[in-house]
Structure 1
Amino acid sequence: MRPIPPARAGALCWALAAPLFLAANLVTGLGWRHPPYSWATNNISDLGNVHCGVWDTTRPRYVCSPWHPIMNAGMLLTGALLAAGVLLTWRALGPGRLIRVARSLLLLAGVGFALAGVFPADADENWHFLAALLVLGAGPVGLTLAGLAPRAGAPGRLRLPTLAAGLLALTGAVLFVAQRDAGIGMGGMERVAALPYPIWACWIGITLFAAGGPARRIRRG
C-alpha cells in the first residue's frame, strides 16, 4: 500500500477536526443536568471545567460538567489535528509573506485549542487564558489573512468563503471580548468566534483531499 502524501494526510486531519470538536461539545453537554448546558449562555470552556460550582465573576453561573474528560480530550485532539493540518499542508497553502503569517497564526490557534484541553479554565486559569487568546485572537486574524492570500495557494483559490469565515470569526471575537452578545448569548457569540476556523479547515481539507492534494486544480469559491 502506498503511503498517503503529506498534503493529503494534512487535509484529512483538517477534515476530521470540526466533526470531532462538535461531537465533543454535544456529547459532553448531554451530561449536564441541573442546570442543563446552554450553547447560548455557557462558554465552550464550561464543558471542560473539572469542578462543580459558581464560576466567572463577570457572568456568574453554576457550572457542573460530569463528562468533562470527553471535552478536554476532544479539545486536545482537535488542536492536534488543526496544527497537523497546517504543518502537513504547508506548501499547499501557497507562497508569499502574507500566507506565511496566516499559516503561523492558524498553527498557533491549533495550539490554543490543544492548550484549552490540557488546562481547563478552573484548573489553571492563566494557561487557559493564553489558550483562549490564541483561539480567539490568532485564529480569526489568520483566517482573515488566508482569505487575502494570492490565488496561487488553496485559500486564495477559495478566497471569498475563506475571507467570509475570517471576518465572521473576527467580528465574533471582538463582540465576545466587548461582552456584546447581539441577542445570541455570550456562549453563542464565543462560538461565532471559535467555530469558523475548524469548520473552514474541515471544508478546505475535504476539498484538498478530494482533489488529490495541491497539485490538482481547485475550483474557485
Structure 2
Amino acid sequence: MLSALVYAISETVTARAWSTPVYSYSANYISDLGNPQCALYDGRTVCSPLHALMNWGFVAQGLLLACAVLLVGRVVRGRTRAVVLGIGAATTAGFVLTGATHSSPDAVAQGTLWLHYAGATMAILGGNVLAIVLSRQRRQLRIPRAVGVAGVVLGAAGIVAALTWLATFGVVPPGIPERTAVYAFVLWQLLVGGFLLHVTQPFRALLSRPSRADS
C-alpha cells in the first residue's frame, strides 16, 4: 500500500509543479514528469521542475513493492511462491530502471532510451500480472472472493490498456491508455494492501509463522 501511495503523491505533486506548459494527464506521458530537460520533445513541450521527485518516486515504489512481495511470499506456497517472487523481482527492477533512466532528448542522443522503455514495460506488465496471480491466491491470503475477483479484473484491465496503448499509438491521447494500465495496478495495491493490513487479522498471524520454505 505504501508503494502505491508513494507513486500517487509523487505523480500528483510533480504534475502540479508544471507551469509552462500545464501538465496534461491525457496528452503527456507519465515519463514526461521525470524528464530532467526543459525542451520540445517528441512534439511536446516538456518542463518538469520536480523531475527528481518523480524519478525517486519510481525507485521508492519499486523497493517498497519488493518488501511487500517478500512478505506475501511467506504466505503463498509451492510453485506459486516462486512465481510471485520472480514476477515481483522483475516488476521491482522495472520501477527502479524507470526512475534511474529517463525519457529525454539526452537519452535519445546517448542511446539509453530503450532502458527506460524496458523498465516501464517490466513495471506495467509485471505489476498487472502480479495482481492477477496474487488475486487468484485469495484463499491463501484469506481475502474475500470479491477482493480477489476485483484484483483479477484490475490486472486484466491493466494489461488490455497497455496493449491498447501500443495498438492505438498516435491515434488516442497517450496518457489515457498509459494511465489506465498504471492506475489499475496502483488501485489494486491500495485495495489489497489496505485490506490485508487493516482488515485481515489472520494475515498478520500468518506472517508471524515461519514459512514452509524456511522450516
Shorter-normalised TM range = 0.7 to 0.9
Matched-pair contact (CA < 8 Å) for 2:73–2:81: no
Letter in 1 for 2:21: P
Q: TM-score, with normalisation over the residues of structure 1?
A: 0.79
- Deviation of the 1:179 alpha carbon: 2.6
* Partner Cα separation in structure 1 for residue 143 and residue 103 of structure 2: 33
Structure 1 residue corresponding to 2:6, chosen from 10, 16, 20: 20
Letter in 1 for 2:72: T
Q: Larger relative contact order (C-alpha < 8 A, sep ≥ 6)?
A: 1
Q: Does 1:120 pair with 2:102?
A: yes
Query: Structure 1's 43 and 90: CA in aligned 2 closer, same or farther, altered over 3 A?
Result: same
Report the number of matched residues. 198
Q: Indicate the RMSD between aligned Cα atoms, in angstroms.
A: 2.5
Q: Match for residue 43 of structure 1?
A: 29
- Deviation of the 1:28 alpha carbon: 0.7
Letter in 2 for 1:114: V
Question: Percent identical across equivalent pairs?
Answer: 29
Q: Does 1:130 pair with 2:112?
A: no
- Deviation of the 1:63 alpha carbon: 1.0
Question: What residue ranges of structure 2 are gaps of 5+ in the alignment?
Answer: 207-215
Letter in 1 for 2:14: T
> What are the Cα deviations for residues 117-172 of structure 1, in whole angstroms up to 9, with x where unaligned?
11122244122111112012222223223333463235785320111111111111
* Partner Cα separation in structure 1 for residue 78 and residue 39 of structure 2: 49
Question: What residue ranges of structure 1 are gaps of 5+ in the alignment?
Answer: 1-14
Moved over 6 A (4+): none
Query: Structure 1's 177 and 102: CA in aligned 2 closer, same or farther, altered over 3 A?
Result: farther
* Structure 1 SS opposite 2:26: coil
- Deviation of the 1:95 alpha carbon: 2.0
Q: TM-score, with normalisation over the residues of structure 2?
A: 0.81
Matched-pair contact (CA < 8 Å) for 2:14–2:33: yes
* Structure 2 SS opposite 1:42: coil
Structure 2 residue corresponding to 1:69, chosen from 28, 33, 52: 52
Q: Match for residue 83 of structure 1?
A: 66
Stretch deviating more after TM superposition (40-49 or 80-89) = 80-89
Structure 2 residue corresponding to 1:105, chosen from 84, 87, 106: 87
Matched-pair contact (CA < 8 Å) for 2:69–2:84: no
